[in-house]
Amino acid sequence: MQEIETHRFVGTCAGVCSNTAVGHSGQIKCSIIQPFCLKSRTLCTKGHPDLFALLGVERSFALDSAQLHSAYKRVMSEFHPDRLGHKSASDQADAASHTAAVTHAYTVISRPHLRAKHLLELRGRPLDEDEGGDLLGAEFLMEVMESREAIESATSAQMSKLREVNARRMAEVSAALRAAFDEAQLDDARRLTAQLQYLHKIESEINERTTVE
């Protein structure tokens, strides 16, 4: 069982915060009691830290990157050292822990494959690492294998083409994922999230090969 404590967070909330204690919206100053994970230092929802709530953004796969970055900067500004100079050492340590948690939340939510995985956790349908093969199906796994074989022997020009093809596939899967989450089709969302994670790995492999060359 995940250990939690009652934590009072004071700051500016924008968008929609979803948590087990309070739901609120609009640009307001808040001082609300919420469950807070002692291990991850983030808000907890049904056993999982709600990283969307920590950033003060809507819990959705379809997030605008610029708006997400603005929300991140807004939350971080609440804990800027210049605002905490008069606080106790304990309060400053708590603020440091909170900024670390906010930065982690932004790292996850800003990456589509991690954002999708986190959404599945919050909706009670987490994606387990050991079920990827059965979930993806033989056709997609064959596609992944062929891509990796092509990367191993690709020239610079061919690598550029492989990057374009993979980016197009990632965009297609992301669009399908958005629809699946919007329509609460979680079986489809789980399968597509697994696909997006594999495509992200292929992107990383292409980037690594390009860097080495």
Angle at 209 between CA 212 and CA 114, to 5 degrees: 120
- Alpha-carbon distance of 166 to 197, in angstroms, equals 12
- Give residue 2's pLDDT: 35
- Give residue 17's pLDDT: 35
- Give residue 12's pLDDT: 32
Q: Which amino acid is at 153?
A: S
Judge contact between 190 and 125, C-beta under 8 A: yes
- Give residue 30's pLDDT: 32
Segment holding 32, helix H or strand E: strand 28-37
**Which of 82, 190, 200 minimizes the C-alpha distance to 144?**
200
Weakly modelled stretches of the chain, pLDDT under 70 = 1-48, 81-85, 87, 92, 130-132, 212-213
**Which of 162, 206, 207, 171 minimizes the C-alpha distance to 192?**
171
- Give residue 48's pLDDT: 60
Reported as a single tens digit per residue, the pLDDT across 107-118 is 999 999 999 999
- Give residue 147's pLDDT: 94
- Give residue 156's pLDDT: 87
Judge contact between 51 and 105, C-beta under 8 A: yes
Reported as a single tens digit per residue, the pLDDT across 116-166 is 999 999 999 998 876 667 788 889 999 999 999 999 999 988 999 999 999
- Give residue 78's pLDDT: 80
* DSSP class per residue in 62-96: ---HHHHHHHHHHHHHTT-HHHHTTS-HHHHHHHH
